[in-house]
Amino acid sequence: MVNGGQSAEADVSRSSARGVVKALSENYEQVASIELDQRITASLQAFSADVVFPVLHGPPGEDGTFQGFLEILDYLYVGSDVQASAFAMDKIIAKNIFAEAGLPLARQIMVNESAGVAAAADQIVKELGSYVVVKPSSQGSALGVALIDDENQLHEALELAFTFDRRLLVEERIDGREITVGIIDTSQGCEAFPVIEIKTPESSWYDFEHRYTEGLSEHIMPADLPENLSKELQAFAVTAHQSLGCRDLSRADFIVAGDDSYLLEVNTLPGMTPTSLYPDGAAGFGLDFASLVSHLVERAAARHP
């Protein structure tokens, strides 16, 4: 199991890893936690790893870079391959794929750092207005994301987001309920976990702090939604997983406003911390944590030529 690295989410990765190691140890005698650093090749060789479980968040562990490294060295690994990982991590590319698949999306534009903050802000206001969400294209855990109320906040938010990424996705801001649906590949095909609603204290949202601080978010499963809407969200999550070419697992995030739903993004390596959504969804699906991680490892092991 590989974790850590140099990304802005490295500490979250290490937190996830502690739980994964403990759960894997319930079913496997030889489990190692390996840091993603300059000694990674030697560390994997020393352990003689049969299957690598990347418990990584953000680049280079989640964007296809590490997956390509593992394929070059001929290691079996849990999760999506190089292409699907790269597509999902780049929010702009992913949204184009989702649009082709007919999935429901908010209005959006892309802005580039090379144009300058002032020009980017003018373009956003002209095309979307000033009530928007600013997102770095290739970051996770809501890092660099800002919810903008008016034009006065926009310049500062763009400057911050550009420190994470030179390309930004800017979406119209839709007030609604934060919803997530986990996906798992099984022998029966691509299956959806129960729909979960994420609730945070008033005037807050599911940002980095609320994701990883125990007690700052509540997961309601199943979400209190009409049955037809819940099934629709599960179907959208399956389509998103398949349209990106994801493998083994993913988690799709939505905003639901009334009867309308909007797909935000797909995470190919969802968090596995004590406060994470994906293990909660798996429990609702009937898989305890140890069974979940074993299932994922066994699927990877079965990919031997």
Instruction: Report the catalytic residues.
Output: 9, 141, 212, 251, 253, 265, 267, 271
Q: What is the DSSP letter of 273?
A: S
Q: Are strands 196-199 and 177-186 parallel, antiparallel or unpaired?
A: antiparallel
Angle between helices 10-24 and 289-301 (to 10 degrees): 90
* Closest by CA position to 193, among listed 141, 270, 85: 270
Count the helix, strand and coil residues of the chain and give each as a percent rounded to the nearest 5. 40, 20, 40
Give 275's contacts (C-beta < 8 A, 6+ positions apart). 211, 212, 213, 214, 217
Give 47's contacts (C-beta < 8 A, 6+ positions apart). 30, 32, 34
Residue 293 near residue 86, CB atoms below 8 Å? no
Strands (DSSP E) along the chain, which ranges? 2-3, 34-35, 51-52, 54-55, 76-77, 108-112, 132-136, 146-147, 167-172, 177-186, 189-192, 196-199, 218-220, 249-257, 260-267
Q: Strand pairing partners for 108? A: 171
Phi-psi region of 79 (alpha: psi -120 to 50; beta: other; left: phi over 0): left
- The distance between the two most distant Cα atoms of the chain, rounded to a whole number of Å, is 59
Angstrom distance (rounded) from CA 131 to CA 149: 5
Angstrom distance (rounded) from CA 63 to CA 271: 15
